[in-house]
Amino acid sequence: MNDRFLRACRRRPVDVTPVWFMRQAGRSLPEYRALRERYGMFEIMASAELTAEVTLQPVRRLGVDAAILFSDIVLPLAAIGVDVEIKPGVGPVFADPFRTADDLERLRPLDPTDMAAVTDAIKILTAELPVPLIGFAGAPFTVASYFVEGGPSRDYAKTKALMRSEPTLWAALLDRLADIAIAWLRAQVDAGASAVQLFDSWAGALSAEDYRGRVMPASARIFAGVADLGVPRIHFGVGTGELLADMGAAGADVVGVDWRIPLDEARRRVGGAYALQGNLDPALCTAPWNVVEAAAADVLERAAGRPGHVFNLGHGVLPETSPDTLQRLVEFVHEHG
């Protein structure tokens, strides 16, 4: 197996810089779109064979150094009976948002058998993949923000109001979500995943004070809850330049960096004890190749050949991105990284 991704996560020497892309499984790939014309998101995730197929598609086409499981951060909540749907072009939408302590009872513990189709997909994948498989979960704050707001939000007003006005209930909510994430990550690793990523995609909406005091403890508990598994742990959020050191201190081995902060500055803020992942602006992948090439070269120059860099985008692949551009980008990073 090509293990350069795992070696980079552990800050060990690699032959070339490893590269994979968030949201590489789906969205921009025509073979994925063909499947989506026949199946909904939850239909794909309910089928081990379809989940494995979508996860494999970018590895076949792009030549990336890691696969990421095709899934969604709200899938565990759907598996335990919470009413949630993924609306195209919108994202997760909850029919009955979280409001009171009574709603905690809807968050029963996750049993791995609740997710049998996905763990079966992982077993298929680990038998076929030439690269490591990344499992993932949503961090408690980000999942809570969808659950409290009822769907995506720009200001997270209800979430922040609950966090400040009812701190005991807020902590209980994050604890329940942390328990679910721990169970889900452990099930993925037990099935064969070689690394895990915790997506706290919207943590950048928080002040450093709120993050450290009201969010970070639950994420830290997740990382501690999978530490004994011995797989690399990646922590990622958007707009988190001011939180990078804390996101590492929460227990990560690898800190994801978005495009709003240069990679060398991220290294200065995080320190040398962590690998970094990132951080090309995904919007630039829709530009002409000379723009993509220059931006990728800048990321690699700022990485400066130090051990512990996984090339990625600063967030997910945009749907309008050409797969040919992504393939060319992988080749460029392998050649120059």
Active site residue 23: yes
pLDDT surpassing 90 at residue 26:
no
Provide the whole-model pTM: 0.97
Active site residue 60: no
Q: Which two tokens stand for residue 40?
A: 């909904």
Residue 57 pLDDT: 97
Q: Is residue 254 very low, low, confident or very high in pLDDT (cuts 50, 70, 90)?
A: very high
pLDDT digits (tens, 9 = 90+) for 188-197: 999 999 999 9
pLDDT surpassing 90 at residue 144:
yes
pLDDT surpassing 90 at residue 184:
yes
Residue 334 pLDDT: 98
Structural domains in the chain, CATH included, are: 4-336 (3.20.20.210)
Mean pLDDT on 82-107 = 94
Q: Which one-letter amino acid corresponds to residue 32?
A: Y
Active site residue 155: no
Q: Which residues of 108-138 are buried (b: 16+ CB within 10 A; e: fewer)?
A: eebebebbebbbbbbebbbeebebbbbbbbb
Residue 1 pLDDT: 86
Q: Which two tokens stand for residue 266?
A: 């991220």
pLDDT surpassing 90 at residue 182:
yes
Mean pLDDT on 112-132 = 96
Q: Is residue 27 very low, low, confident or very high in pLDDT (cuts 50, 70, 90)?
A: confident
pLDDT digits (tens, 9 = 90+) for 5-20: 999 999 999 999 999 9
Percent of the chain with pLDDT over 70: 100
Residue 298 pLDDT: 98
C-alpha 20/C-alpha 293 separation (Å) is 16
Catalytic residue, candidates 146, 156, 211, 274? 146
pLDDT digits (tens, 9 = 90+) for 29-78: 999 999 999 999 999 999 999 999 999 999 999 999 999 999 999 999 99
Helix or strand or coil: residue 134? Answer: strand
Catalytic residue, candidates 3, 10, 27, 281? 27
Q: Which two tokens stand for residue 147?
A: 């659950």
Catalytic residue, candidates 11, 61, 72, 114? 72
Q: Is residue 202 very low, low, confident or very high in pLDDT (cuts 50, 70, 90)?
A: very high
Supply the DSSP string of 288-315, one letter for each residue.
Answer: -HHHHHHHHHHHHHHHTT-S-EEEEESS
- Which of 222, 271, 275, 231 is CA-nearest to residue 250? 222
Catalytic residue, candidates 10, 36, 108, 328? 36
Residue 140 pLDDT: 98
Strand residue runs (E) in the chain = 67-68, 84-87, 91-94, 133-138, 195-199, 233-236, 254-256, 275-280, 309-313
pLDDT digits (tens, 9 = 90+) for 279-309: 999 999 999 999 999 999 999 999 999 999 9
pLDDT surpassing 90 at residue 104:
yes
Catalytic residue, candidates 7, 23, 233, 267? 23
Residue 89 pLDDT: 84
